[in-house]
Structure 1
């Protein structure tokens, strides 16, 4: 997955986040799925979507902010 593909899904994010995402080996569809889970996890469960696979779960872990921060990927200046 390229830097531009990652930005096309997430918008502007830190280079460290881009590198972490690239290192997962995930593809663009998996990134989109992870982003959907972060945005509406209860809705996806209620609609009967299967739980995220290993790579999607890793992407969710990278993208979710710590409990004390707002819920959005880290933006760049």
Structure 2
């Protein structure tokens, strides 16, 4: 993904986040899927959607940031 593609999906974000996301070699579709899982994971599971792929899971982790409990 390019910087512009990432910003088109996420809006303005920190350059470090952009670099981390770009380094995953993910696609725009995978980034959108990660956002969908963040927004409504229970709904997607209840709909019978397959669990996120490894790359989508990585994007989810990057978008959610570090756990507050850590």
**What is the TM-score normalised by the length of structure 1?**
0.83
Match of 1:61?
A: 61
Match of 2:42?
A: 42
Deviation of 1:30 after TM superposition, in Å, equals: 0.5
SS of structure 2 residue aligned to 1:19: helix
Match of 2:29?
A: 29
Q: Give structure 2 stretches of 5+ with no counterpart.
A: none
Q: Partners of 1:35 and 1:43 in 2: how far apart? A: 13
Of Structure 1 and Structure 2, the greater helix share is in 2
Q: Partners of 1:38 and 1:49 in 2: how far apart? A: 14
Provide the aligned C-alpha RMSD in A.
1.0
Q: Partners of 1:19 and 1:66 in 2: how far apart? A: 17
**What is the TM-score normalised by the length of structure 2?**
0.90
Q: CA deviation digits over 1:25-48, x for unaligned, max 9?
A: 101100000011011111111111
